[in-house]
């Protein structure tokens, strides 16, 4: 396996849908990528993008790729030369989201779509000047902190979303015209990631 290129290493972080980057892992993100003399600069930059895309409120399960402003780099601790942050909210505000049975699967699927679409735009010349392909990801376990989702559910849904996404990419004729049998079969696979957790508890 090739060593990930840290120059194209987006970070996935997930505290709220309003993109306050000032708590828990998000605090580390701001400390690393915001200018040292303006801790809230990255929060403002991401909220500006989210307002354009979502009117400021990104629903759980979505993903928005945000480019870190180039002018931040000389003034930040971004030793990896990271270019992008991928915002994948799992909750509106910090709360227990175990009731949201598929939110991890939905976030991973949305992340894969967002990165895939971003890279396609770069390759086909539709991206803004200076945009580069994303070739590696750094991701923390989604919703496992204050969201109280188990590591087992996070891992199972992440792997399943990856599996389904690969299938979708390799079988466009099937996935572009899904019938009820396939839809229900995929849904049953997702249900098992929660049902097995319930049975073992």
Tens digits of residue pLDDT in 104-130: 999 999 999 999 999 999 999 999 999
State yes or no: pLDDT of 92 exceeds 60.
Answer: yes
State yes or no: pLDDT of 192 exceeds 90.
Answer: yes
Average pLDDT, stretch 151-171?
A: 97
State yes or no: pLDDT of 138 exceeds 90.
Answer: no
Determine how many CB atoms are found less than 10 A away from the CB of residue 124.
8
**Lowest mean per-residue pLDDT among 12-16, 76-80, 96-100, 105-109:** 12-16
Q: Cα separation of 125 and 12, whole Å?
A: 25
**What mean pLDDT is reported for the chain?**
86
DSSP 51-88: HHHHTT-PPTT--EEEEPPGGGGGGS--TT---EEEE-
In this structure, what token pair is assigned to residue 3? 């060593």
- Could you tell me the strand order of the sheet in which 11-13 lies? 64-67, 84-87, 11-13, 138-139
191-199 CB contacts, 8 Å cutoff, 24+ apart: 191/101, 192/156, 193/105, 193/153, 193/156, 193/157, 193/160, 194/101, 194/102, 194/153, 196/152, 196/156, 197/150, 197/152, 197/153, 197/156
Domains of the chain: 6-200 (3.40.220.10)
DSSP 133-195: -----EEPPTT-STT---HHHHHHHHHHHHHHHHHHHH-HHHHTS--HHHHHHHHHHHHHHHH
Backbone angles phi, psi at 13, to 5 degrees: -145, 150
Q: Which pLDDT band, with edges at 50, 70 and 90, does 9 fall under? A: very low
Q: Which pTM was predicted?
A: 0.85
């Amino acid at each position: 396996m090739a060593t990930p290129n840290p120059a194209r290493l987006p970070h996935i972080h997930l505290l709220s849908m309003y993109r306050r980057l000032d708590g828990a892992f998000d605090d580390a993100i701001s400390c690393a990528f915001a200018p040292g003399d303006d801790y809230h600069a990255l929060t403002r930059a991401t909220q500006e993008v989210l307002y354009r895309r979502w009117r400021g409120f990104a629903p759980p399960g979505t993903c928005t790729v945000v480019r870190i402003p180039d002018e931040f780099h000389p003034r930040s601790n971004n030793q990896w030369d990271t270019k992008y942050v991928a915002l994948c909210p799992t909750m509106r505000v910090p709360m227990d989201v175990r009731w949201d049975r598929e939110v991890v699967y939905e976030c991973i699927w949305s992340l894969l779509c967002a990165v895939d679409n971003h890279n396609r735009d770069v390759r086909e010349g539709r991206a803004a000047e200076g945009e580069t392909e994303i070739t590696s990801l750094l991701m923390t376990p989604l919703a496992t902190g204050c969201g109280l989702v188990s590591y087992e559910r996070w891992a199972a849904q992440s792997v399943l979303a990856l599996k389904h996404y690969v299938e979708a990419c390799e079988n466009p004729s099937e996935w572009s015209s899904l019938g009820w049998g396939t839809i229900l079969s995929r849904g049953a696979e997702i249900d098992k990631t929660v049902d097995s957790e319930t049975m073992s508890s």
